Structure 1
Amino acid sequence: MTTLRNALFALLLAFTAAPAAAEVPMVGRFAAEARCPAFQSLRQETNPGNVLVEPGKSYQLLARNADPASHYYIVVPGAEPERRWVPIGCGRVSDGSQQADADLLRPASAPGSDERPALYVFAVTWGPAFCEGKPSAPECAGGGKGDRFSLHGLWPQASEYCGTAANLRDRPWSRLPEPAMSATTRRSLDQAMPGTRSYLHRHEWARHGSCYGTDADRYFSDSMKLLGALNGSALRPLFVERAGKTLTLRDVRAAADRSFGEGVGWRVSLHCERDGRRRIITEMTIALAGKITPSANFSDLMAAAPPVRSDCNSGIVDPPGLQ
């Protein structure tokens, strides 16, 4: 039985990860917000020419690799070959008027209210690694927290910027409207998401929370509940214990299996960046599916989502303080 279950997992992963079988056509532009590798092959993580997308540049958008997506397929002029895969967290998508995927034309309704389970990406940051790249950020005054994961965002996969005025999308985060939430929720959010000092919460609400189907208070409260479950799992001590050492995706997924159920580790992805001679883990994303409520079970949400690829198989867990 175990052999059969493992075989089914491998088969499902193959269908989810293979670009030729699972890519979903898209029409529009990809606006890069970070320098990220542009892969020719997701499966082999090959990058001829060591091509990077550059912040502030816009690229033709061709497809995403799956639902939920981990990568976008874009055209990088001058690269050989010019068609490349980039992680979704490296920028934002502006869809064209003739969207190839009809699902993306429909704004997200309340979580789980559609006939199919709603799909999400839950993103968390490892503070010290983030601060290596942005040491001047207000939240990095102490080098970033190294004892727990910090909230980046909860991203509905059906759409972005729902009902958001077009002229707000390119504004600096400090000039975006402040999401309405209770004082209690805001105090908790300041602890869970140190990036509130850089107005990250305004960006997350405008881009992703607006498509969640609730008000901002509920959106951030649900996000923090998920973060609490993650920080209460075997994943947090694993990162703490490996500070300064290399951590593999295999070990991360095994810890997820121990905490949330056999096989759910396939929903976890790592994202890494170069820091001098080191390759450090900056972020972890988790695929979720279903109706997210205050009583929702994190294990069930993970198990309901399809397996995903990871663009990083190992990296160093950055210790507290700038290295």
Structure 2
Amino acid sequence: MKHLSLFTAALYVAFCAVPAQAQQVNLDGYFIALSACEATKKKDGDNPGNVRLQVRHAYDVIARNATPGTHYQIQVPGAPVTEARWVSMSCGALAPGASLVSSPGSLPEDGGAPPATSGALAPESLEYLLAASWQPGFCATAAGQGKPECRSQTSDRYDATHFSLHGLWPDDLDDAAIFPCYCDRGSPIECSFSQARDTSLELSPVVMERLRVRMPGVQSGLHLHEWPKHGACYEDDKTGPDAGATPDEYFTESMALLDALNASPIRDLFVAHLDGILTRTEIEDSFNDAFGHGAGERIQMRCAKITGENVITELWISLKGDIGDPADLASLIQSAPRNSVSASSQSCFSGRVVKVPR
């Protein structure tokens, strides 16, 4: 195989967007291997010759199995039985055909991986979802009841009357899927699966003290899950010295967003309806009043069914832009795509605002 030219140092790697359909999609370009994954004859197995990809090599891509799909079919020169092999999308990244100036081969050791961003993300390609939990509602669910933060919840604790931090999720909001995740564990993957927590995570005492209040899930290790899955991708689409973030930076800026939400009329609306019902329209109207016309089209109200009744568990808020401390929540919301573009599900119509009993 021939070496890729140094020109590839400037290419961005992105998954191609094509019209939605269920059948195989022919593609033109290259698949750059970021892991030594199996290259199989069939998508579900059968690997004559036990062929594995060579990391930092580019292979001619033939097709994708579907849209959005799970596998690429690539050309593996010299593979026995058939050189047309299937590989998981998570094993690498797709590069447009015009990105390379020579035939596929090894990325040069002196800078073949795209240096402009970490994790092979296209520059400036990500927006964010702020998942703000209404903790009393979550604690009423089967998933929450047994957690230590729910067993210890009291009516005078911060999270009984304020939104709590579930997570801040980097996401390409131009489609309905949540992507990327686990950016420090090889190639970024889509977010429907969870991997092991990062039990080695260390935060500064100041950040950890604030986080314990705003993310009660710290008691059950939620932060150890959120950092590797989402935080490791935070600002990975930035260039130069702005690329990437430390855990302290990620959680500090996440809390800045949460503090802005809790200082807004949205929190007042929930407190005014404790043990009552809020409708989607009421919440959307409140966002429009607080953050400008159209803000309500950029939030989702998430509910769980408990004994036949909808209970509000959290809000998902779409954001776009640079997040600071303090956070300009109105500007970030207004810059984000509307739910009609980014949301994979609709808000529940109405739900109860659970109140923690005294």
TM-score (norm 1): 0.63
Indicate if the aligned counterparts of 1:117 and 1:289 stay in contact, CA closer than 8 A. Answer: no
Indicate if the aligned counterparts of 1:24 and 1:101 stay in contact, CA closer than 8 A. Answer: no
Amino acid at match of 2:147: A
Q: Offset at 1:179?
A: 2.4
Indicate if the aligned counterparts of 1:247 and 1:317 stay in contact, CA closer than 8 A. Answer: yes
1:124-158, Cα deviation, whole Å (9 max, x unpaired): 11111111122121001244632010000000015
Amino acid at match of 1:234: P
Indicate if the aligned counterparts of 1:118 and 1:291 stay in contact, CA closer than 8 A. Answer: no
1:264-291, Cα deviation, whole Å (9 max, x unpaired): 1111101111111211011110000112
RMSD over equivalenced CA pairs, Å = 3.7
Distance in 1, Cα, partners of 2:278 & 2:286: 12
1:220-264, Cα deviation, whole Å (9 max, x unpaired): 000000000000011101111112222111111111112111211
1:102-127, Cα deviation, whole Å (9 max, x unpaired): 8xx989948xx965463111101111
State how 1:169-188 maps to structure 2 within 5 Å: 170-171=195-196, 173=197, 176-188=198-210
Distance in 2, Cα, partners of 1:178 & 1:26: 42
Change over 3 Å in CA distance of 1:24–1:164 after alignment to 2? farther
Change over 3 Å in CA distance of 1:136–1:199 after alignment to 2? same
Q: Which residue of 2 aligns with 1:251?
A: 282
Q: 1:312 aligned to 340, 348, 358, which one?
A: 348
Indicate if the aligned counterparts of 1:125 and 1:149 stay in contact, CA closer than 8 A. Answer: yes
Amino acid at match of 1:265: G
Q: 2:251 aligned to 204, 209, 220, which one?
A: 220
Distance in 2, Cα, partners of 1:192 & 1:127: 10
Change over 3 Å in CA distance of 1:208–1:245 after alignment to 2? same
Q: 2:330 aligned to 299, 302, 308, which one?
A: 299
**Of the two, which has the highest radius of gyration?**
2
**SS of aligned partner of 1:283:** strand
Give yes or no for the alignment of 1:127 onto 2:128.
no
Structure with greater proportional strand content: 1
**SS of aligned partner of 2:138:** helix
Q: Which residue of 2 aligns with 1:164?
A: 185
Change over 3 Å in CA distance of 1:185–1:313 after alignment to 2? same
Distance in 2, Cα, partners of 1:24 & 1:295: 44
Q: Which residue of 2 aligns with 1:152?
A: 166
Q: Which residue of 1 aligns with 2:237?
A: none
Change over 3 Å in CA distance of 1:130–1:270 after alignment to 2? same
Indicate if the aligned counterparts of 2:117 and 2:123 stay in contact, CA closer than 8 A. Answer: no
Change over 3 Å in CA distance of 1:314–1:293 after alignment to 2? same
TM-score (norm 2): 0.57
5+ long unaligned stretches in structure 2: 1-17, 26-64, 71-87, 97-112, 173-179, 188-192, 235-243
Change over 3 Å in CA distance of 1:232–1:109 after alignment to 2? farther
Distance in 2, Cα, partners of 1:289 & 1:321: 37
Indicate if the aligned counterparts of 1:155 and 1:208 stay in contact, CA closer than 8 A. Answer: yes
Change over 3 Å in CA distance of 1:183–1:302 after alignment to 2? same
Distance in 1, Cα, partners of 2:227 & 2:283: 29
Amino acid at match of 2:138: F
**SS of aligned partner of 1:196:** helix
State how 1:44-59 maps to structure 2 within 5 Å: none
State how 1:1-323 maps to structure 2 within 5 Å: 95-97=89-91, 109=117, 116=124, 118-133=126-141, 134-143=144-153, 145-158=159-172, 159-164=180-185, 170-171=195-196, 173=197, 176-212=198-234, 213-308=244-339, 309=343, 310-321=346-357
Indicate if the aligned counterparts of 2:256 and 2:327 stay in contact, CA closer than 8 A. Answer: no
Distance in 2, Cα, partners of 1:294 & 1:286: 18
Indicate if the aligned counterparts of 1:107 and 1:211 stay in contact, CA closer than 8 A. Answer: no
Distance in 2, Cα, partners of 1:228 & 1:128: 18
Structure with greater proportional helix content: 1
Distance in 2, Cα, partners of 1:269 & 1:101: 33
Could you tell which deviates more after superposition, 135-144 or 180-189? 135-144
Indicate if the aligned counterparts of 1:269 and 1:311 stay in contact, CA closer than 8 A. Answer: yes
Change over 3 Å in CA distance of 1:279–1:227 after alignment to 2? same
Distance in 2, Cα, partners of 1:136 & 1:178: 25
Change over 3 Å in CA distance of 1:302–1:24 after alignment to 2? farther
Q: Offset at 1:161?
A: 0.1
**SS of aligned partner of 2:305:** strand
Indicate if the aligned counterparts of 1:123 and 1:153 stay in contact, CA closer than 8 A. Answer: yes
Percent identity, aligned pairs only, is: 33
Indicate if the aligned counterparts of 1:161 and 1:210 stay in contact, CA closer than 8 A. Answer: yes
5+ long unaligned stretches in structure 1: 1-19, 28-60, 65-72, 75-93
